[in-house]
Amino acid sequence: MKYMIGVDIGTTSTKSVLYDEKGQFIMKHNIGYQLHTPNVEISEENPDELFDAVLMTIKYVMREADIDKKDVKLISFSAQMHSLIAMDASNQRLTENLTWADNRASKYAEEIKNSHNGDAIYQRTGTPIHPMSPLSKIFWMKHEQQEIYNQTAIFADIKTYIFYQLFEKFVIDHSMASSTGMLNLETLSWDKEALELLGINESQLPELVPTTHILKGMKRRYATLMGIDENTPIVVGASDGVLSNLG
């Protein structure tokens, strides 16, 4: 019998769910974590805690279901939308994970809407101009956190960050990218005018890949920890919103 694992990286918890190849549910494991909300504007979390939760939930279902690592057909991912983590040229974090609920960019979302042709950006990207979106968050960072903005080599979301830890590659699937406010839906490439507004270039954003894109060859220490083979196919997957619609 072959098995599949689905991993959902949520805002308040991560869960791994084990299925057999017929799609029958076998078991799941869930690990929660704290949101850092010192005031109504800020909503952050530590991305390393989320990464640990991914490792530990997969480890748990593999161990408790007593699955042979050779029998894992694939692991596929779902994740919260609109998250943002700034990373420097050494691939170290400059920020926590700013979640969709972080509202600090609200003034700047209004500015994009009213003074920077926000409606045209919305038409091209399909993401409303709203403080939740990475577009607004990076615009806020450019004005309010210039030191971090100037040092940022890559703007990642939480799923990109977790794949970077496992594979040392920066990738983002089209559905996660479409919720950034920076993806041109016609061309499926980063939107030039949006990037111009933010003063960033494509090299500061992850590589765009389809939701069915497969990564292999993760760092051995993490594969060993989870009890899986390092060449288990990891399907990049999609955003939680897209996948719940599909479901």
* pLDDT cut 90: percent of the chain above it: 99
C-alpha dihedral over 225, 228, 230, 232, to 10 degrees?
A: -150
pTM: 0.97
Q: How many C-alpha atoms does 7 have within 13 Å on its Cβ side?
A: 29
- Cα(44)–Cα(185) distance, integer angstroms: 28
- State the pLDDT at residue 177: 98
Residue 170's pLDDT is what?
Answer: 98
> What pLDDT is attached to residue 229?
98
Task: Quick: pLDDT tens for 30-45.
Answer: 999 999 999 999 999 9
Find the helix packing angle between 158-167 and 47-64, rounded to 10°: 60
Determine the pLDDT at residue 40.
94
Each residue's pLDDT tens digit, 56-108? 999 999 999 999 999 999 999 999 999 999 999 999 999 999 999 999 999 99
Cα-trace Rg, the chain:
18
Question: In the chain, which residues have pLDDT < 70?
Answer: none
Which H or E run includes 158?
A: helix 158-167
Q: Residue 86: what pLDDT? A: 98
For 99, other C-beta atoms within 10 Å of its C-beta total 22
Identify the pLDDT of residue 31. 98
Q: Phi and psi for 113 in degrees, rounded to 5?
A: -60, -45
| Distance, CA of 97 to CA of 85 (rounded, Å) | 5
Q: Which of 216, 224, 82 is nearest to 158 (CA)?
A: 82
Residue 43's pLDDT is 98
